[in-house]
Structure 1
Amino acid sequence: MEIIEGAGVWAPPTESGDDWIEQLRTPDLSVGTYCIPVDGTDTQSPHTEDEVYIVTAGRARIETPGRTAEVGPGTVIFVPAGEEHRFKDVTEDLVLLVVFGPAFNSRSPRS
C-alpha cells in the first residue's frame, strides 16, 4: 500500500512551464496532478494511453471532437487513448487528478 501525497492538490506551473506532476508510476498505470490556472491554456496532445480525470477543484469546459461539457469539482471524465481533448474557458484554477492506464507515455514510440 502507498499513500500518494499531493495527488489532486493545486500546484502552480513551474518556471519551465510544467503543469503536470506524476506522483505514482507502475508499468500498468500512473497517477498525477494536472493544473491549469484561470485563463490558462491547455497545451496537451492526445495520449497513447486511456485516461481518467477527476476534477478536485476549479471550473472549465472540456472539448472533444464529439462533445463539449462543463466540469467542476467531482466531475469524472474518461478519455480513450488517441482522442483529441482540451480544457478551455478555465474560470477557476483547475486541478485534475489524472489516472493513466497503462502508465503515461508507456505506449509512445521511442526515439
Structure 2
Amino acid sequence: MIDSKDLPLFAWQPPIKIIAFPLINRVGKIRDVARKLHDKATDRHAEYYLKQVTDGLVAHLDRLGLSPEERERQIDAFWAKVEQEVIRLSYQRPDAGSHDPRGAA
C-alpha cells in the first residue's frame, strides 16, 4: 500500500490566502457613511466620525487576517469612494423636488 509519506506531492497543501470582499464594492456602507459625514455640523464632529469608522474598518479587516499593507490599501480606497459620494451629495439641490413635467407651473 502506498502511503502519503511516500508521495509528498499529494500531501502538499497550498498556502492559504484570504481574499476579503473589497470595501469599495460595499456601496450601501459607502453611501451611509457619506450621508452621515455630509450631515455633520462641524469639522470636529466629522473628524471624530471619520476616526470611528476607520477604527471599525481596521478591526474588521484585522479579524479577517489581512496584511497591514492590504488593509491600508482597502481603507484608502474606501475613503476615496466616500469622498466621491460626499461630493455628489453636496452638488444635489435640496430644492430639486419632483422631476414630473406635469407639475405645477
Instruction: Give the TM interval when normalised to the shorter protein.
Output: under 0.3
Superposition TM-score, scaled by structure 1 size: 0.23
**Larger radius of gyration between Structure 1 and Structure 2:** 2
Superposition TM-score, scaled by structure 2 size: 0.24
Structure with greater helix share of residues: 2
Structure with greater strand share of residues: 1
